[in-house]
Amino acid sequence: MNLYELTIQEALDGMDRGDFTAVELTADLLGRIGAVEREIQSFLTVTGELALAQAARADARRRQGDASPLLGIPLGIKDVLSTRDVETTCGSKILKGYVPPYTATSVKKLEAAGMVMLGKTNTDEFAMGSSTENSAYHTTRNPWNLERVPGGSSGGSAAAVAAGEALGALGTDTGGSVRQPASFCGVVGLKPSYGRVSRYGLVAYGSSLDQIGTLTKDVRDAALLLNVIAGHDPRDSTSLPDATPDYRTALTGDVRGLRVGVPAEYFIDGIEPDVEQAVREAIAQLAHLGAEIIPVSLPNTDKAVPVYYMIATAEAGANLARFDGIRFGYSAGADRLMDNYRQTRGEGFGPEVKRRIMLGTYVLSAGYYDAYYGKAQQVRTLMKQDFEDVFSRVDVIACPVSPTTAFKIGEKSDDPMAMYLADVFTLSLNLAGMCGISVPCGLDAAGLPIGLQLIGPHLGEEVILRTAHAYEQSTNFGLSVGGLAAASRRHVAG
């Protein structure tokens, strides 16, 4: 058995038994990267020397009796998270060569827990996209089918986990950017509640929407990583002071009596029949396990796409104003200040980022603020109230992650609206600040993964982890050795 096939928990158990060392595990992962990275292109930067040095330190700590929760575990980090002394580009030419002087809180917590950092994973530029085709450097490919996208914007992290290039990874989710690539790549993607994980050190896209999440091979690993990264951080004013539980205790395998809401608005015209069938079969499996299935309605779901693209682009326009060619990153070097601004941003930003900045500037402009941005915020409140009303009657919501499986590279590149609609089932959750998880629930006729989305109330991570784990353990779609991840690796060389 190859070590790169292990889950995080399996790897920890193996190192604790003395079956292999962190250095041996890390070398195996780096070897896997060397074997398949040319095809998959999950990474923007591979930090091989750093990883081996961290692994050696982890082995020394283990010999001294250290029981840190991630000691010696090789992970990938999405390249929108700042990492001291390691280039952080956000998938953009405007930050090529930028090396942060500090590390994001979530990454520092992983380091303190003993993580080995394999490198920085590819992303749509500034996390703006649903396919990882918007990266300024290269397009990541789906390990299940190299002609398909891995989803986005955390496509590099999802593909790395699915292809065995990392045991787990961090991603970010502003409108579905953890859950949708998890669904497309057949891995588990967890988006925590807004405020549950510190955003300090995350290069901001939409500040009221962004959240750092995890991509793993199974639900147990998702709970383990969330245990490490969750918690209050005084450096993030949106970070909640609420105590964090041990999320692993929620993994009871028992959903008897759990009330599962199924929203009619998430089964719409345009959803692929294979996706609908797999999700409905997954819901039926939850009923078989003892859950009560309750039809519910989220009536403002159809407004999610326009509301999201009003609010997210307005926030993006403000957040990306700092990239001006003066303080850090790329500079066009023009003699006059205004010319330098124009040329730097014109040459440094890609088409999708420019599109969103222009849209955001428009909705915030004089005469349009109330009509667009202000109205979008009012509808956002209605959407949040929809969720709160439903969660007064159910414990968790079950629905699809995406209306389709992974589409072909280039298929939607010239149609921004079609690309935006790929996230129609994930956007509402970010607008309402709730938590959600994607767990594999089957394959379509072409052999591509399908994800079941489970949505919980704010700070309801325990209930979605409990439900996802019970479902995973009762099916053959788990991602431990021999499951979907092993199947996906047959599609790539090595």
The answer to whether 70 touches 8, Cβ cutoff 8 Å, is yes
153 is catalytic: yes
Catalytic residue among 130, 153, 193, 480: 153
Three-state SS at 395: coil
**CA 137/CA 124 separation, integer angstroms:** 10
Q: Chain-wide mean pLDDT for the chain?
A: 95
> Facing residues of 438 across strands?
189, 453
Architecture of domain 3-300+381-489: Alpha-Beta Complex (3.90)
Residue type at 137 in one-letter notation:
Y
* Model confidence pLDDT, tens digit, residues 326-373: 988 999 999 999 999 999 999 999 999 999 999 999 999 999 999 999
Identify which of 54, 30, 56 has the alpha carbon closest to the alpha carbon of residue 43: 30
Three-state SS at 322: helix
Taking the C-alpha atoms of 112, 117, 123 and 127 in order, what is their torsion angle to the nearest 10 degrees?
10
The answer to whether 247 touches 465, Cβ cutoff 8 Å, is yes
**What would the DSSP string read from start to end of 356-389?**
HHHHHHHHHSTTTIIIIIIHHHHHHHHHHHHHHH
Share of the chain above pLDDT 70, in %: 97
Question: Residue 269: which pLDDT band, with cuts at 50, 70 and 90?
Answer: confident
Phi, psi angle pair for 47, to nearest 5°: -105, 65
**CA 251/CA 220 separation, integer angstroms:** 7
Place of tokens 């245990």: 227
**CA 362/CA 377 separation, integer angstroms:** 16
Tell whether the model's pLDDT for residue 494 goes beyond 60: no
Share of the chain above pLDDT 90, in %: 93
* Model confidence pLDDT, tens digit, residues 79-137: 999 999 999 999 999 999 999 999 999 999 999 999 999 999 999 999 999 999 999 99
> Facing residues of 436 across strands?
191, 455
Catalytic residue among 78, 108, 120, 412: 78
**What would the DSSP string read from start to end of 221-268?**
HHHHHHHHHBS--TT-TT---PPP--GGGG--S--TT-EEEEEGGGS-
First to last CA, the chain: 13
Enumerate the domain spans of the chain: 3-300+381-489, 302-378
Give the global pTM. Answer: 0.96
Catalytic residue among 130, 177, 239, 480: 177
Identify which of 266, 278, 192 has the alpha carbon closest to the alpha carbon of residue 452: 278
Identify which of 82, 120, 88, 85 has the alpha carbon closest to the alpha carbon of residue 104: 82
177 is catalytic: yes
